[in-house]
């Protein structure tokens, strides 16, 4: 989950407990979902989608992106249920053309999720996303779905969350609304699709990696996903580096945002900036030496092999610890051939390189600032 606190973005986490995955800001708890009265349920459907190259920039979206649009009412507010191949979007949002733009944006996000870091599977049935027009509506939908645990989610001052493969969001502005949809959409996707949960640091790092985008046309109808185009994460990373507040790779693997924020709210913000940088490091650092291993880790999480490998190579105690908190296991050592402590120097050098003078302009352009 992505949230704003005192104007600073963002903090979220997701983990698995009792067979259920949930994303919660700050003081996360295991949640039990309740039914939302009057909510249409999506029936299992085989999903197919266009490829990214099927719609060149400047060309109208094909008609089959939006399969149908019908009236949907939340309380006394008129809204829409928009069906696409992969999503059921329930929305009361009317500004910026959100009701029309968000469903197409989500389909584009899914293409990005399943192709940018290797070939990953599609969900087996459409996913539900709620895009509410304002916070009071979001509050009431959250209360209906989350029941007695809703108060944890309602601590989010500005943002949204994903739980059990359902995203619940609201309009927070013409750009941030889409950035949140991209971030929470990653959590929603892995919750619905991956058979083994990713480590917290990787799950959150990948969600921040998916945030970066720019509009590819003047009408802001088609996103171009650029993982480097994330000025908020970059600025936080640069500040932490200059002030000597960077955490080690080993600490990133062991920590959760909840643990960090209990001592220092800014530490959680640094955490998100660093796990964003960690995914970039594993994707293109050291000449791309780790990229294949990153893709292997994602494939294993999707297939369920990740948890089996932990049990097979590290033992049942490590497997149990990982299943409980999704930390406590050095998956860098398991998948990348070097322990977190051994990779830390190269990771810090990568950060120093990408925050060097002149890098900000490249980040704004969505280009890699790495040498």
Q: How confident is the model at residue 203 (pLDDT cuts 50, 70, 90)?
A: very high
Q: How confident is the model at residue 152 (pLDDT cuts 50, 70, 90)?
A: confident
* More confidently predicted of 323 and 278: 278
Based on the number of CB atoms within 10 Å of its own CB, is 196 exposed (0-12), middle (13-18) or buried (19 or more)? buried
Taking 50 as the threshold, does the pLDDT of residue 184 lie above it? yes
pLDDT tens sequence across 299-355: 999 999 999 999 999 999 888 888 888 887 888 999 999 999 999 999 999 999 999
Q: How confident is the model at residue 82 (pLDDT cuts 50, 70, 90)?
A: very high
Distance CA 200, CA 190 (A): 12
Q: How far apart are the first and last CA of the chain?
A: 32
Region 247-262 average pLDDT: 86
Region 3-13 average pLDDT: 34
pLDDT tens sequence across 37-59: 333 333 333 333 334 433 333 33
Least confident stretch, 23-37, 149-163, 228-242: 23-37
Taking 90 as the threshold, does the pLDDT of residue 8 lie above it? no
- Measure Cα distances from 6 to 65, 98, 265, 275, 280 in Å: 38, 26, 11, 21, 27
Least confident stretch, 38-47, 92-101, 290-299: 38-47
Q: H or E element: which one contains 240? A: helix 231-242
Taking 90 as the threshold, does the pLDDT of residue 124 lie above it? yes
What's the whole-model pTM score? 0.85
pLDDT score at 63: 52
Tokens of 220: 């802001």
pLDDT score at 51: 40
Taking 50 as the threshold, does the pLDDT of residue 95 lie above it? yes
């Amino acid at each position: 989950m992505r949230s704003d606190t005192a104007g600073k973005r963002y903090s979220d986490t997701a983990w698995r407990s009792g067979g259920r995955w949930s994303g919660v800001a700050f003081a996360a708890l295991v949640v039990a979902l309740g039914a939302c009265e009057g909510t249409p349920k999506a029936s299992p459907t085989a999903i197919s989608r266009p490829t990214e190259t099927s719609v060149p920039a400047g060309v109208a979206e094909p008609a089959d992106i939006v399969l149908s649009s019908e009236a949907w009412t939340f309380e006394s507010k008129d809204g829409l249920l928009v069906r696409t191949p992969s999503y059921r979007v329930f929305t009361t949002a009317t500004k910026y053309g959100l009701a029309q733009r968000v469903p197409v944006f989500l389909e584009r996000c899914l293409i990005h999720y399943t192709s940018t870091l290797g070939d990953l599977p599609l969900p087996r049935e459409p996913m539900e996303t709620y895009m509410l027009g304002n916070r009071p509506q979001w509050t009431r939908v959250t209360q209906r779905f989350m029941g007695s645990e809703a108060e944890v989610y309602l601590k989010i001052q500005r943002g949204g969350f994903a739980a059990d493969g359902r995203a619940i969001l609201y309009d927070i502005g013409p750009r941030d609304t889409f950035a949140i949809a991209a971030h929470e959409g990653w959590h929603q996707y892995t919750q619905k699709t991956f058979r083994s949960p990713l480590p917290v640091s990787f799950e959150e790092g990948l969600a921040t990696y998916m945030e970066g985008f720019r509009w590819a046309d003047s009408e802001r109808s088609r996103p171009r996903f650029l993982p480097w185009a994330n000025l908020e994460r970059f600025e936080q990373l640069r500040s932490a580096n200059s002030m000597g507040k960077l955490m080690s790779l080993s600490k990133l693997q062991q920590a959760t945002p909840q643990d960090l924020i209990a001592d220092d709210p800014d530490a959680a913000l640094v955490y998100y900036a660093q796990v964003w940088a960690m995914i970039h490091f594993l994707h293109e650092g050291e000449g791309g030496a780790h990229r294949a291993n990153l893709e292997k880790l994602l494939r294993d999480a999707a297939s369920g092999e990740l948890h089996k490998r932990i049990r097979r190579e590290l033992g049942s105690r490590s497997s149990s610890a990982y299943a409980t908190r999704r930390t406590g296991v050095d998956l860098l050592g398991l998948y990348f051939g070097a322990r977190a402590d051994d990779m830390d120097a190269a990771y810090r050098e990568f950060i120093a390189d990408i925050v060097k003078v002149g890098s900000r302009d490249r980040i704004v352009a969505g280009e890699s600032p790495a040498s």
